[in-house]
A and B are shown apart, each in its own frame.
Chain A
Amino acid sequence: MHSGKISEALPAGECLEAGELERLIRGRLSSSRAALAVEHLSQCPRCQNRLEQLAAGSETLTAALRELASNQPPRHSAFHRALQAIEYELGMTTVVPEKRSDMPSDDLRFLTPCDEPGCLGRLGPFRIRRVLGRGGMGVVFQAYDPDLDREVAIKIIEPHLVGNEIARQRFCREARAAAAVTHDHIVTVHQVAEDEASGLPYLVMQLIQGESLEQRLRREGKLSVQMVARIGMQAAAGLAAAHAAGLIHRDVKPANILLEAPHDRVKLTDFGLARAVEDVQLTSSGVVAGSPLYMSPEQARGEAIDFRTDLFSLGTVLYEAASGHSPFAAPTPLSVLRRITDEEVPPLHQLDPTIPRELSDIISKLMAKRPEQRYASAKAVAEALAQQLARQQQLHPLEVPVGLNVDSRWFSLSGTSPAWKILLQQGWYSCQRLGRSLRWTVPWLGGAAIGAGLVAIILQPSHVVEHVVEQIVEVPQPRTSGPAPDLILDGRAGGVWSLAFAAPDRLVAGAEDGSLRLWDLRRAAEAGEGLLKTFEPLQNGNIWSIDVSPKGKYMVSACDDAAVVLWNLHTLRFEGLKFPHPHSARSAAFSPNGRYLATGDRNSTVRLWDLDTQVPIELLGHRGTILALAFSPDGRFLASAASEGHILLWDLQEEALWRRQHLEHYLRLAEHRGPVYGLAFAPDGEHLASCGWDGTLRLWNVNDGTQLWNHKAHEGDAWGVSFGSNGQWVATCGADGAVKVWKVPEGKEIFHWRGERGMHIVRFGPDGRTLAAAGRDGMVRIWRLPATMESEPQPFTSSHEPKDRTR
């Protein structure tokens, strides 16, 4: 894309060298040279031949494809169904909620024919790949979206449910309202559309890998107490988000609770669809179909319902998950309804003494016959379950869904402390009641943090109870303090997680609502109005990361959708290119020569894209969400950081990239406790700064991996880090609302500003003097720092590290 030097012209008619052909295939010729080579190739059959031989080696590959393409089992072959069924049976396939039943081939009748390989037919712009499942409401397909180049799930609503025009319109209206809610624990609906040919409405949704709770229960019978509480907590958090938007699910059941692989993250699906379909059905037939096993008493009686109906259904689901049987099962739908309205269910702890009383009580309360006896909100349910898990030491603070308040004193840091585990196994956790209560809010894998604070529980490696020490770093409610910003930009679009300078005076900010804003800082300072452009959301969800190409022409943004998007900052438009990931993208960075783009997703994968060919190399080595990526200034090294707490360093030797060899990291830096959120290379390329959940700022030597220093920089998570171009200043920001600048190598704090809300991102401008920071409150604050800054010497002191750190 930014090919450097211009090579001399290719003599007309002269054939290409083998090395040149190879580079052409790999997209490693400069664009001018490549253009000449392509021109030559257009004329020269010999070179065409050589190129092909170089690429494929032999004919076998294309011959195999040709053979199979013309010889696929016919559409009506039993093969397709059998393959799907076995994939399903092995219990591990891409999952859709509904029960799979016989798939009549006329399910595909409304698809327009498509002769591309692996395509069963077309629906609008989508290429249908296969049938995933079938339920009361319709058929679900896996499909490919060629416009956005991604795999999606498409649900087509049964024709008889939406028989006439009014019903259709109504359905779409309801479904669109439901689609507006986005949350970590809700399956994202990208689009609600109508097929022009058949008039059938369909939903385009995020494709989830994993299985439904229904499938899991069928496979495993019942689940562990922790699993039940965890599923309950996450499902309740998802419900809370929907309820806050005024939406009721109305059909919470195991088939609608998806467990996303590999960590069984709960994703609720079919939000509000029950309502949409029910309305239509009632109008047309007066009868509501479907299994009533998970209905609330008020639903069963046909009374008015509110959000608390979802709480009852969730209770019933959790009861079944914990006990292995559905509490209201009966031979006929009518007798099920009668049991729901009339019968009290025995508390779980009476059925099974291994179920803790606390969990049993929570579920009983959810299943109270009268709505007013249940919890006051889904959020309260999620908090109660989180609390229960925390008390059982089964919850890491990072697992708490966004927006919950959980009493932190119970949090286990067991992941880092074997001593802690031993104490737990011996049932000694009750001795932890020393701690003061501190309310805080933590993100779910890097979600928005609202409050601030960190509890560090330090254990001596000893079995003596008295040695258990609890240290609490309490955070006072901070007000704004420190040097006032020179400029404040307000995007009014919610929290900001990403910033990038496009030029010394141009800054881009990505907001929670998926929009991006480009500001002219000089105009903003002089005229009070500097917003040049708002890029409307192209995808759903928060913009986690943005980066600008070295010459300032291109910008990439990574958001919760499964692709990194390329924008053109000259034309101020979407460039039409996306870099797809199988999972939500979380981070992106351009290499200093503009040749490569590194992207990271929520499922351990870093992709290194050659921007000319848009072909990625996958860098594997993390286990978790890739939270940060940084190239060294000379482009030789890439650093990646992830939620498992490790930083990996990759040596991007031209040779290896050129040959697209499998790359291994050469260093693994595993000193951080908890996720690493930010990375920044020093201008000299020799040092790397990192920050993370443990609140520390660390400085590393990238040649040998030595940790040069480690300092507790923030109370609570340290979210962002940036190196100034002078190589002497490192800026950090964190959940405590502070923005700080440190002088290296002395490690002296020379700038300190503190606001009331968490600060997510900090970036130095190219001039090394402009400092921009943004966070929870959605404001972007800019400081113009003096050329030299000195303050009271505050040399680094030892950090609050537990002594039994195990790595």
Chain B
Amino acid sequence: MAEAPLTRVTLLARLRDPGNAEAWQEFVRLYGPVIYRFARQRGLQDADAADLMQDVLRSVARHVGELEYDPRKGTFRGWLYTITRNKIYNFLMAQRRRPRASGDDAQQERLDAAPAREQSDSPDAEWEREYQRQLSWRAMERVRHEFQPNTWQAFWLTGVEGRPAAEVGERLKMSPGAVYVAKCRVLARLREEVQRLLEEEQ
């Protein structure tokens, strides 16, 4: 009567399930910011980066069903990186061809340089770093509701804002030791959630 344990359903598989609202929401919230930031770093203006983000996500939605996912050929986020990179390249090329009213030389220089940097096929370090950061952020957004407000504050003020435990303890009416424990409980939970998000993708 016992059955094989459920295999964890990957994010990609869930995205393919047409009615899966949660998966798309998760996908947009995880990758949207990564794409936006990455595009900004590549020199796109705010509005252009925002458009490009939409464009990439839309493209994923359109093609996710066709994607033959083979882990040996690379990760899902590698695939996403390729789409993002290509779209940025196309955008910048189009920009270059268009006569620019802006006299921002530095900007122009970045634009000229950007495509040239786009040689490698593997996700580059900046993309990876943005992804890792956003993963932590998403995990933060996801686990936050599990904690009492005081516990969370203790974590945020010491761990993220870097305030001394003694000061935070005073503010939250907790002993410094309790502040450390609160902080570390949240951290441990965060680490676990990051791990879970990572596993879900692979």
Which A residues are closer than 8 A to B by beta carbons? 24-27, 34, 37-43, 48, 51-52, 54-57, 60-62, 64-69, 73, 77-79, 81-83, 85-87, 89-94, 116-118, 144, 146, 149-151, 209-211, 261-262, 577, 580, 613-616, 620-621, 660, 662, 664, 666-670, 704-706
> Known: A60-B132, A66-B160, A262-B19. Is A42-B177 also a contact (CB below 8 A)?
yes
User: B19 contacts A25, CB within 8 Å?
Assistant: no
User: A613 contacts B185, CB within 8 Å?
Assistant: yes
Q: List 19 A-B contacts (CB under 8 A).
A: A25-B184, A40-B177, A65-B160, A68-B136, A73-B36, A77-B46, A79-B53, A83-B32, A85-B54, A86-B58, A87-B32, A89-B58, A90-B24, A90-B58, A92-B19, A92-B25, A116-B156, A660-B192, A667-B1
Q: How far is the CA of A577 from the CA of B5 in the complex (A)?
A: 33
Is B67 positioned at the interface, with any CB of A under 8 Å from its CB?
no
Please indicate the chain B residues that have their CB under 8 angstroms from the CB of A118 in the complex.
141, 144
Q: How far is the CA of A705 from the CA of B5 in the complex (A)?
A: 16
Interface bits B23-42 vs A (CB < 8 Å: 1, else 0): 11100110011001000000
Chain A's closest residue to B60 (CB) is A90
Please indicate the chain B residues that have their CB under 8 angstroms from the CB of A662 in the complex.
8
User: B61 contacts A209, CB within 8 Å?
Assistant: no
User: A78 contacts B50, CB within 8 Å?
Assistant: yes
The 10 closest A-B pairs by CB, nearest first: A41-B177, A42-B177, A82-B50, A55-B184, A705-B1, A92-B21, A38-B177, A78-B50, A64-B136, A55-B187
Contact of B185 among A27, A73, A666 (CB under 8 A): A27
- Max count, chain A CB within 10 A of own CB: residue among B5, B185, B194: B185
> Known: A41-B176, A664-B5. Is A262-B188 also a contact (CB below 8 A)?
no
- Max count, chain A CB within 10 A of own CB: residue among B58, B159, B175: B159
Q: How far is the CA of A65 from the CA of B136 in the complex (A)?
A: 7
Interface residue tally on B, bucketed by range: 35 or more
Main secondary structure of the interface of B (DSSP, over half): helix
Is B2 positioned at the interface, with any CB of A under 8 Å from its CB?
yes
Q: How far is the CA of A69 from the CA of B180 in the complex (A)?
A: 21
> Known: A65-B136, A92-B24. Is A38-B187 also a contact (CB below 8 A)?
no
User: B3 contacts A668, CB within 8 Å?
Assistant: yes
User: A65 contacts B32, CB within 8 Å?
Assistant: no
Please indicate the chain B residues that have their CB under 8 angstroms from the CB of A144 in the complex.
145
Q: How far is the CA of A117 from the CA of B143 in the complex (A)?
A: 13
User: B1 contacts A117, CB within 8 Å?
Assistant: no
Q: A54-B184, A66-B162, A93-B28 are in contact. List 18 more A-B contacts (CB 8 A).
A: A34-B181, A38-B178, A39-B177, A56-B188, A61-B190, A73-B46, A79-B53, A83-B32, A87-B28, A91-B24, A92-B25, A117-B140, A118-B141, A149-B149, A261-B19, A669-B1, A704-B1, A705-B1
Per the 8 Å Cβ criterion, residues 132-171 of B in contact with A are 132-137, 140-141, 144-149, 156, 159-162, 165
- What number of A-B contacts does a CB cutoff of 8 Å give? 195
Q: How far is the CA of A27 from the CA of B160 in the complex (A)?
A: 22
User: B21 contacts A93, CB within 8 Å?
Assistant: yes
Is B47 positioned at the interface, with any CB of A under 8 Å from its CB?
yes
Q: How far is the CA of A94 from the CA of B47 in the complex (A)?
A: 24
User: B28 contacts A83, CB within 8 Å?
Assistant: yes
> Known: A41-B181, A55-B187, A56-B191. Is A64-B137 also a contact (CB below 8 A)?
yes
> Known: A90-B24, A90-B28, A616-B146. Is A68-B134 also a contact (CB below 8 A)?
yes
> Known: A86-B53, A667-B1, A705-B1. Is A61-B136 also a contact (CB below 8 A)?
yes
Q: How far is the CA of A73 from the CA of B22 in the complex (A)?
A: 24
User: A62 contacts B1, CB within 8 Å?
Assistant: no
